[in-house]
Amino acid sequence: MDLMIHSSRFLLPYFPANNGPSQSCALVVLNQPIPRFTPLLWNHARLRVCADGGANRLYDELPQLFPDEQASAIRKRYMPDVIKGDMDSVRAEVLEFYTNLGTNAIDASHDQDTTDLHKCVAYIRDLPNLENHNLYILVAGALGGRFDHEVGNINVLCFFSTTRIILLSDDCLIQLLPSSHHHEIHIQSSVEGPHCGLIPIGVPSRSTTTTGLQWDLTETEMRFGGLISTSNIVKGERVTVKSDSDLLWTISIKKALLMR
Ligand SMILES: Nc1ncnc2c1ncn2[C@@H]1O[C@H](COP(=O)(O)OP(=O)(O)OP(=O)(O)O)[C@@H](O)[C@H]1O
Ligand SMILES: Cc1ncc(C[n+]2csc(CCO)c2C)c(N)n1
């Protein structure tokens, strides 16, 4: 079985060069309080997309992260490439501001069966120019807030299970570890951990085996209503996971993380 390697290097202020294949990063900003490190993610991303009301957050909250600079200058510097969604939350003045700067606004209000995040991920995945093979999508503001939205955001991980998508809040990140691969997670201990969790999603796991955790699993069964691995702790720089079913990996983000 193939190995998939994961690393939260996008949380590091200086993205160290590696010798692996080049990766392309897209950022989606949701309609939730903007995580304090959003400027860092922004700089890593080659494409920046706001999901509907996410554009209001960018417009209203990003200037607050730069109190010494003029709000209008910050808004121009952090102009999204695309605003996509059903457009019932983005304010008219915000939409006008960004479209005047050159942002592409895509109204997908005809589809009331998928969320704005789903629409944005589908758009990014179908773009011809991003190196889709090595694409990863960072989602800012995906956790905290309304529980139906949070679950909808997690469902997007499951729907697009072959695309690397990382849900982020100020406090933690979540990503899917598909059962089609074995996983090696390189822990960036300056910015993440030690608290972590491994959670079966969709169906129980009959057998999960890990290394690198304080409470490792050894061909262990996990199911809701039985054992799931929450409040676990990463012990070193490397965690490995093998499972017969898809799992969510979550790890805490350190408060001391620099914002840009
Ligand atoms: N409270 C929240 N918690 C988590 N994610 C959220 C929350 N609010 C919005 N989002 C995310 O941001 C996206 C855009 O939000 P927006 O408010 O524009 O959506 P919406 O479709 O108008 O939501 P709704 O009509 O259900 O309130 C959503 O698709 C969702 O992914
Ligand atoms: C069974 C079912 N439940 C809820 C919705 C509502 N819904 C889900 S996604 C979405 C768009 C939000 O921007 C809306 C309105 C539906 N269509 N089908």
Rg (CA), the chain: 18
Whether the predicted pLDDT of 132 surpasses 80? no
Return the best residue to mutate from 88, 89, 110, 113 for the ligand 2 pocket (most ligand atoms within 8 A of CB): 113
pLDDT digits (tens, 9 = 90+) for 75-88: 999 999 999 999 99
Q: Which of 12-21, 28-37, 239-248 has the lowest mean pLDDT?
A: 12-21
Residue 131 has pLDDT above 70, yes or no: no
pLDDT of residue 16: 58
Query: pLDDT tens digits for 44-60?
Result: 999 999 999 999 999 99
Rounded-to-integer distance, Cα 89 and Cα 91, Å: 6
Q: For residue 116, which atom of ligand 1 is closest to its CA?
A: 29
Task: Report which of 56, 22, 9, 61 is spatially closest to residue 38, judged by C-alpha positions.
Answer: 61
> pLDDT averaged over the chain?
94
Q: Is the CB of 63 under 6 A from ligand 1?
A: no
Mean pLDDT over 21-45 rounds to: 93
Q: Which atom of ligand 2 is nearest to the CA of 111?
A: 11
Task: State the ipTM, two decimals.
Answer: 0.90
- What is the CB < 6 Å shell around ligand 2? 86, 112-116
Tell the CATH superfamily of the 171-260 domain.
Answer: Thiamin pyrophosphokinase, thiamin-binding domain (2.60.120.320)
Beta-carbon contacts of 206 under 8 Å, excluding residues fewer than 6 positions away, are 221, 244, 245
Domain boundaries, given as residue ranges, for the chain: 22-170, 171-260
Q: How confident is the model at residue 128 (pLDDT cuts 50, 70, 90)?
A: confident
pLDDT at 61 over 70: yes
What is residue 259's predicted lDDT score, i.e. its pLDDT? 64
Q: Ligand 2 centroid to 130 CA: how many Å?
A: 29
CA of 31 to the centre of ligand 1 (A): 5
What pTM was computed for the model?
0.95
- For residue 256, is pLDDT > 80? no
Give the ligand at the shortest distance from the Cα of 30: 1
Task: Give the integer Cα–Cα distance in Å for 173 and 160.
Answer: 17
Instruction: Say yes or no: domain 22-170 is CATH 3.40.50.720.
Output: no
pLDDT for 242 beyond 90: yes
Strands (E), 41-187: 47-51, 82-85, 104-107, 135-140, 164-168, 172-177, 182-186
